[in-house]
Amino acid sequence: MIRRNKMVKVYYDEDADLEVLSDKTIAVIGYGNQGRAQALNMRDSGLNVIVGNIRDESWHRALEDGFEVYPISEASELAEIILFLLPDEVQPEVYNREVRGNLSDGKALVFAHGYTIHYGFIKPPRNVDILLLAPRMIGTYVRELFQRGSGAPAFISVGQDASGKGLRRVLALAKAIGATRVGVMELSFAEEVELDHFSEHYTVPVIFRAIQLGFEALVEEGYTPEAVLLEMYASGELAEVFRAAAKMGLYKQMSLHSTTSQYGTLTYGSRVMPDSAKGMIKEVIREIKTGRFAREWQLEQQAGYPMFRRLKEEALRHPINEVEERLRRMIRIEL
Ligand code: NDP
């Protein structure tokens, strides 16, 4: 079932050398979720980091954290290594206006997600490195894990190697944010983007939808709504199951549960999600590969987000939200 058609390359601290960045100015463009965490980690690793941002709260936060902060175009001009950590949907416009003109020979433009490069929303010139350093973790944990002496795993890629030092540069950046402490995996921009979309278009929606339909069915059958949520996810137990799965293994962590629970899980898995569902899953994969979603999302942005707004309003009007409020007043959950 598992076909190996290529070698997986994983790099650790001993494969990376910060020296390649020691005399370089590194600009973190966008002091948000990823930007703040990566900028702080890189500075703690001894690199020369500046921040580029619009004049908003994040600008002031970066100043308070002790960084030199510049408008985006100025930071891009000053730096040789530019980490472009803006929301994906705003990247093309800001790139064209503020960054493109500052990409002189041998600089590196680094992304935390390959979306805008893979789908061609950004078409960089040939004289710069195009690198990917995509932590598989939200920004706060990229920082927290680093401070604990560990790190978040990441995908890395060299999309374009104008300097001839692309791999050494991205490995040094990965080391500086703590990622090579645990290991970084090399793969293409395309694979990073498509796997990320698979999580967003399959794994997470399946879990959310299973919870929503389960809630509706149980409440219709007369079960106590607050108890339903506490049982399904609100106690935090489900989160702990996934944490244990990441550490021990999806099925190996089952030993933490009663044998009754294990037997129930094993016998009902294929009943509620039969093997025939794989056809639908492959359909999702095929659709991701066509880039249809990226085009739809771009049109949605251009139209002012009408569908996104409607779907979000609908989700936030679902009775689950009200029951969650009541449950939080009843049970003080500390996670
Ligand atoms: P954020 O939403 O946290 O925003 C980053 C920064 O961009 C903020 O400082 C924000 O300012 C600024 N910004 C927003 N709109 C504009 C604009 N129009 N012009 C200029 N600046 C703007 O981004 P993330 O850190 O979540 O994402 C950055 C990159 O990292 C993306 O490519 C994303 O896919 C990737 N990534 C994100 C992960 C995550 O944990 N969130 C995980 C792995 C990868 P303000 O604070 O004012 O909004």
**d(CA 292, ligand 1 centre) in Å:** 23
Paired residues of 26 in beta bridges: 49, 81
* 14 pLDDT more than 80: yes
* 5 pLDDT more than 90: no
141-151, pLDDT tens digit by residue? Answer: 999 999 999 99
- Write the residue with the smallest CA distance to atom 24 of ligand 1: 33
Q: Is the CB of 33 under 6 A from ligand 1?
A: yes
Residues 6+ apart with CB under 8 A from 94: 29, 72, 86
Domains detected in the chain: 9-187 (3.40.50.720), 192-330 (no CATH)
151-170, pLDDT tens digit by residue? Answer: 999 999 999 999 999 999 99
How much is the average pLDDT of 305-315?
98
**d(CA 91, ligand 1 centre) in Å:** 9
Tokens for 298, please give them: 């771009």
* pLDDT reported for residue 36: 98
Q: Is the CB of 114 under 6 A from ligand 1?
A: no
**Closest to 110 measured CA to CA, from 176, 56, 58, 54:** 176
d(CA 170, CA 168): 6
Relative to the CA of 142, which ligand 1 atom is closest?
40
pLDDT-above-70 percentage for the chain? 98
CB 179 within 8 A of CB 11: no
**What is the overall mean pLDDT for the chain?**
96
pLDDT-derived band at 224 (thresholds 50, 70, 90) equals: very high
Q: Is the CB of 84 under 6 A from ligand 1?
A: no
Q: Is the CB of 52 under 6 A from ligand 1?
A: no
* 4 pLDDT more than 70: no
pLDDT-derived band at 88 (thresholds 50, 70, 90) equals: very high
d(CA 231, CA 222): 15
**d(CA 140, ligand 1 centre) in Å:** 13
pLDDT-derived band at 26 (thresholds 50, 70, 90) equals: very high
Tokens for 217, please give them: 């069915």
* 6 pLDDT more than 80: no
How much is the average pLDDT of 50-67?
97
Task: Return the SS3 of 63.
Answer: helix
* pLDDT reported for residue 1: 61
How much is the average pLDDT of 134-141?
96
d(CA 154, CA 12): 11
- Going by their DSSP bridges, the two strands 129-135 and 108-111 should be labelled as parallel
Tokens for 197, please give them: 């979309």
- Residue 60 is among the residues annotated as catalytic for this protein: no
- Name the one residue in this structure whose structure tokens are 């409440």: 219
Kindly name the residue from 60, 113, 257, 318 that is annotated as catalytic. Answer: 113
DSSP annotation string for 234-247: ITSHHHHHHHHHHH
Relative to the CA of 90, which ligand 1 atom is closest?
18
Q: Is the CB of 75 under 6 A from ligand 1?
A: no
Name the residue of 85, 115, 117 to mutate for ligand 1: max ligand atoms within 8 A of Cβ. Answer: 85
* 3 pLDDT more than 70: no
Question: What does the DSSP 8-state code read for residue 10?
Answer: E
Query: Is-above-0.75 flag for pTM?
Result: yes
